[in-house]
């Protein structure tokens, strides 16, 4: 069985996911076959594998860093919050049930054997496994029945490294407090700590490093500088949106609406790679500006997010923007919101059986009990117009995750022709665009990752502004991410005791 190392944190958002990806990349660079693993992930960002299984996107980018095709075994349990108290429980890539927190906590012991079996099979296939915890192991109210922090370290017999975030302040107290709240047996598993997101001269930090090592009795393995890499992370949704500051220097303005139940916000990371784009996320309480493109993202609770847009006044602002002829684009739940009607006869989302949509697309959506989870390939239809003119025949690929089925009426046209679902060749219509060509929507997550599609759209907008077309320096989003993984690995390798990390991995 392969060796393992587990990264746990003093809190959520301290950088466990990125450092897990960094170690996956470092081990890969050094010739090891390595896989990421997180037994339980709570996130609204998910991905569909080639087998049609749903898993957390953090383990997807970690798999990419390891040079692997994403495998649902890397994240056997995914929790997708539907309300403040309930979550959809996805096991081995398939929807199992909706549970509240108490019910799920009581259910977790039933998952332990399954998780261990999956981990053991994965570990037998690779030289090394880098495990990621969730939140903090010092959440003592959750110690009983734990399957993701020290409970997982026990199941996998993994040494543990604790990550602390100095950028948020109190890193020494959080490291010391975490160690204090661990049991004696748990403390024995901890082989070192890493201080993450440091800004400044590390010489100033050295006296504190010596003192914290004396207090917690384990070494500080490295101090990782704060970096602004364009890699997906598992920070909270609000932090993710708030931290994306507008450049105020792009020729094309793109705004993405924050939704209370927003999902798959990584659909828009690609815009950060386009040098002429000024990207802004419209947070709660903020107003829509004057964007060239307004995007309504996916949602885990489409009807409630539609009501949020209506009650907040954003629906009126969307309609005002539409009257100006600007492009409004919806992805998945955002696509459904732009339609005329949404029906939920089985109560799949909430207790509201029927509601009017914003009405900018002539579509009607009905929510059904069975979730569609599939990778797809499509080409843009020949009848597109407006700001999507010249994109006819452009190939796009991505994945679908939705429970609603939409029917396009006479006042809109289908946006794409689906040519492949998983490994099956098909001929189906998908998405919609209005007759004027300034409102469109699609179920395809990752549609903007297709640079030819996105660049064509941006250049069409440039033409309306009297600007010359430009070619992106990033011609492949996949290749761009590969370079970012290498940058991440180099930063971590340069600021950590890598020999000690290998000693921990080997159990020395």
Cβ atoms of 257 and 282 within 8 Å: the answer is yes
- Catalytic, 445? Answer yes
Residue 370: beta bridge partners? none
pLDDT digits (tens, 9 = 90+) for 144-170: 999 999 999 999 999 999 999 999 899
Q: Say whether 273 sits in a helix, a strand or coil.
A: helix
- Name the residue with tokens 């829509």: 288
pLDDT of residue 237: 46
Does residue 434 share a domain with residue 385?
Answer: yes
Q: 7 lies in a domain?
A: yes
Which one is catalytic: 261, 322, 332, 402?
A: 332
Read off the pLDDT band of 248 (50, 70, 90): low
Does residue 373 share a domain with residue 430?
Answer: yes
> What does the pLDDT average to over 235-264?
72
pLDDT of residue 84: 75
> For the chain, what percent of residues have pLDDT higher than 90?
83
pLDDT of residue 247: 52
Read off the pLDDT band of 395 (50, 70, 90): very high
> What does the pLDDT average to over 282-294?
95
**Cα distances (angstroms) measured from residue 501 to each of 159, 410, 493:** 10, 62, 10
Q: Report how far residue 80's alpha carbon sits from residue 91's, in angstroms, rounded to the nearest whole number.
A: 11
Does residue 462 share a domain with residue 487?
Answer: no
- Name the residue with tokens 């009905």: 366
Does residue 314 share a domain with residue 289?
Answer: yes
Give me the sheet containing 94-100, strands edge to edge: 40-42, 77-81, 86-91, 94-100
- Catalytic, 105? Answer no
Read off the pLDDT band of 2 (50, 70, 90): confident
Does pLDDT of 250 surpass 90? no
- Name the residue with tokens 């259910």: 107
**21, containing H or E segment:** helix 16-29
Does pLDDT of 406 surpass 60? yes
- Provide the domain count of the chain: 2
**CA-based nearest residue to 27, from 58, 3, 11, 10:** 3
Q: How many CB atoms lie within 10 A of CB 258?
A: 21
**Would you call 172 exposed, middle or buried from its count of C-beta atoms within 10 A (0-12, 13-18, 19+)?**
middle
Does residue 449 share a domain with residue 336?
Answer: yes
**16, containing H or E segment:** helix 16-29
Q: 54 lies in a domain?
A: no
Read off the pLDDT band of 241 (50, 70, 90): low
Does pLDDT of 12 surpass 70? yes
pLDDT digits (tens, 9 = 90+) for 185-214: 999 999 999 999 999 899 999 999 999 999
Does residue 295 share a domain with residue 216?
Answer: no
**Is the torsion defined by CA of 377, 382, 383, 385 positive or negative?**
positive
Q: 498 lies in a domain?
A: yes
* DSSP strand pairing (86-91 vs 94-100): antiparallel
Q: Which CATH number characterizes residue 346's domain?
A: 3.40.50.880
* Residues 6+ positions from 198 with CB-CB distance below 8 Å: 166, 167, 205, 223, 224, 225, 226
pLDDT of residue 236: 43
Q: Report how far residue 49's alpha carbon sits from residue 3's, in angstroms, rounded to the nearest whole number.
A: 26
Does pLDDT of 238 surpass 70? no
pLDDT of residue 219: 98
* Residues 6+ positions from 101 with CB-CB distance below 8 Å: 85, 87
Q: 270 lies in a domain?
A: yes
Does residue 461 share a domain with residue 495?
Answer: no
* 120, two tokens: 């053991």
> For the chain, what percent of residues have pLDDT higher than 70?
96
Does residue 441 share a domain with residue 358?
Answer: yes
Q: How would DSSP label each residue in 444-474?
A: -BTGGG-HHHHHHHHHHHHHHTTPPP---S-
Does residue 295 share a domain with residue 222?
Answer: no
Q: 304 lies in a domain?
A: yes
Q: Report how far residue 418's alpha carbon sits from residue 396's, in angstroms, rounded to the nearest whole number.
A: 9
Structural domain span for residue 441 = 252-466
Does pLDDT of 233 surpass 80? no
Read off the pLDDT band of 45 (50, 70, 90): confident
Cβ atoms of 446 and 267 within 8 Å: the answer is yes
Q: Which CATH number characterizes residue 162's domain?
A: 3.40.50.300
Does residue 313 share a domain with residue 181?
Answer: no
pLDDT of residue 81: 87
Side-chain half-sphere CA neighbours of 451 within 13 A: 15
Does residue 288 share a domain with residue 183?
Answer: no
Q: 205 lies in a domain?
A: yes
Read off the pLDDT band of 234 (50, 70, 90): low
Does residue 220 share a domain with residue 305?
Answer: no
- CA 176: distance to chain centroid? 30
pLDDT of residue 1: 62
* 234, two tokens: 């598992």
Report which listed range, 19-28, 241-250, 499-508, is most confident: 19-28
> What does the pLDDT average to over 116-126?
97
> What does the pLDDT average to over 428-453?
96
Q: Report how far residue 339's alpha carbon sits from residue 316's, in angstroms, rounded to the nearest whole number.
A: 15
> What does the pLDDT average to over 360-379?
94
For the chain, the average pLDDT equals 93
pLDDT digits (tens, 9 = 90+) for 347-368: 888 889 999 999 999 999 999 8
């Amino acid at each position: 069985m392969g060796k393992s190392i587990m990264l746990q944190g003093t809190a959520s958002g301290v950088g466990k996911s990125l450092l897990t990806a960094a170690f996956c990349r470092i081990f890969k660079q050094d010739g090891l076959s390595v896989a990421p693993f997180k037994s339980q992930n709570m996130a609204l960002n998910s991905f569909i594998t080639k087998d049609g299984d749903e898993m957390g996107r953090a383990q997807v980018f970690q798999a990419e860093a390891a040079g692997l095709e994403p495998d649902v075994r890397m994240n056997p349990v995914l929790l997708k919050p539907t309300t403040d108290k309930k979550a959809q429980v996805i096991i081995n890539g398939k929807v199992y049930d909706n549970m509240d927190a108490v019910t799920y906590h009581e259910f977790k012991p039933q998952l332990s054997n399954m998780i261990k079996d999956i981990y053991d099979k994965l570990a037998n296939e690779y030289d090394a496994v880098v495990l990621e915890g969730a939140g903090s192991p010092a959440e003592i109210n959750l110690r009983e029945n734990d399957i993701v922090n020290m409970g997982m370290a026990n199941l996998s017999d993994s040494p543990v490294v604790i990550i602390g975030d100095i950028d948020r302040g109190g890193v020494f107290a959080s490291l010391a407090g975490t160690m204090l709240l661990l049991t004696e047996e748990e403390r024995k598993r901890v082989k070192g700590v890493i201080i993450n997101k440091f800004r400044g001269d590390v010489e100033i930090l050295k006296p504190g490093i010596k003192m914290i090592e004396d207090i917690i009795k384990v070494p500080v393995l490295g101090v990782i500088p704060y970096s602004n890499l364009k890699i997906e992370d598992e920070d909270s949704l609000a932090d993710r949106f708030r931290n994306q500051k507008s450049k105020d220097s792009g020729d094309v303005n793109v705004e993405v609406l924050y939704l209370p139940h927003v999902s798959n916000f990584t659909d828009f990371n690609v815009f950060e790679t386009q040098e002429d784009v000024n990207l802004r996320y419209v947070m709660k309480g903020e107003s829509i500006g004057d964007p060239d493109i307004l995007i309504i993202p996916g949602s885990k609770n489409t009807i409630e997010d539609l009501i949020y847009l209506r009650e907040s006044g954003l629906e009126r602002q969307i309609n005002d923007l539409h009257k100006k002829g600007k492009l409004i684009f919806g992805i998945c739940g955002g696509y459904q919101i732009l339609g005329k009607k949404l029906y939920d006869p089985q109560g799949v989302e909430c207790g509201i059986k029927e509601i009017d949509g914003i009405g900018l697309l002539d579509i009607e959506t009905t929510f059904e009990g069975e979730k569609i989870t599939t990778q797809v390939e499509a080409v843009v239809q020949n009848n597109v117009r407006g700001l999507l003119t010249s994109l006819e025949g452009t190939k796009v690929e991505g994945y679908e995750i939705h429970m609603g089925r939409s029917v396009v009426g006479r006042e809109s046209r289908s946006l794409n022709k689906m040519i492949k679902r998983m490994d099956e060749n098909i001929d189906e219509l998908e998405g919609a665009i209005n007759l004027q060509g300034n409102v469109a929507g699609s179920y395809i997550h990752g549609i903007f990752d297709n640079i030819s599609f996105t660049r064509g759209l941006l250049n069409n907008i440039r033409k309306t502004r009297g600007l010359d077309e430009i070619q992106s320096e990033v011609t492949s989003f996949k290749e761009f991410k590969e370079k970012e993984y290498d940058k991440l690995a180099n930063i971590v390798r340069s600021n950590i005791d890598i020999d000690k990390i290998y000693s921990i991995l080997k159990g020395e």
